[in-house]
Amino acid sequence: MNDEQNHRRHIDWGTVASWLVGLAIIGGGVWGLIYSHRASVREQRTAETQQQQRDASHAASIAALALKYNAVTNWEASLPALGASEPFSIEVSNALIRSNGQPVLLELDLEDVAGKNSGYTAQFSQLYLTNQNFQLSVELQCTVEQTKQLLVIHKNNGIQCAVVARVTEVSRPKFKLAGSVSGSGEDAEFSVKLDDSEDVFLARGELLDIVRLP
């Protein structure tokens, strides 16, 4: 075997080695992509499972609370479908105040708890975008024990709650005050403006029970 043949064989082995290294690099990259995709799929499935568990817990909490008080859960279905138009006060009143005295179950955000001479009140609110668009503010009288429960919910950063209430009054305030603060410390500036929005309804009544939603 002459020197030229040995040289060609050396070149051939070098080429093979280069191809093998290249294939290894490509294979490593492909495996990395596959592993990353599988990890992403696992994370997505985990997130979906957790969301399903939260939804199931949410539904179970509402169902148990409604069953306990025989509360109306679909009160919004009583409102006429008017699209973007706001309902009339009498329509919201008829939906929330049942002629048979049956309480209603509402999903609301806890806004405040206040003490008055006549007792304690809890304030809630929610924006409804189902068959009609309107803001509902709810002010409910509550007991000392319920007040303590609300404070615990607030302490644990609870916001959304399932509330069973017996509504006795619905009104539509014509005006409301909205305040804002800009800056901090001595440079803070306070401003108050009058909002004449009429798509806000105020419901008053008695708090029967409350559960913090997961």
> What mean pLDDT comes out for the span 191-200?
59
Binning pLDDT at 50, 70 and 90, where does residue 44 land?
A: confident
Residue 192 pLDDT more than 70? no
The last residue of one of the domains, among 69, 85, 103, is 69
In 3-state terms, what secondary structure has residue 181? strand
The DSSP annotation for 3-65 comes to HHHHHHHHHHHHHHHHHHHHHHHHHHHHHHHHHHHHHHHHHHHHHHHHHHHHHHHHHHHHHHH
Count of domains in the chain? 2
| Structural domain span for residue 106 | 71-212
| CATH code for the domain in which residue 150 is found | 2.40.50.140
Clarify whether residues 102 and 167 are in a common domain.
yes
Contact yes or no for 162/103 (Cβ under 8 A):
no
Report the pLDDT averaged over residues 93-121.
Answer: 90
Q: Is the Cβ–Cβ distance between 197 and 148 less than 8 Å?
A: no
Are 54 and 85 part of one and the same domain?
A: no
Please say which residue of 69, 93, 117 terminates a domain. Answer: 69
| Domain-ending residue, one of 36, 69, 102 | 69
129 shares a domain with 141? yes
Q: What percent of the chain has pLDDT over 90?
A: 31
Report pLDDT digits (tens) over 17-38. 566 666 667 666 667 666 666 6
In this structure, the answer to whether residues 181 and 118 fall within a common structural domain is yes
For residue 168, pLDDT over 90 is answered with yes
> Are residues 76 and 122 both part of a single domain?
yes
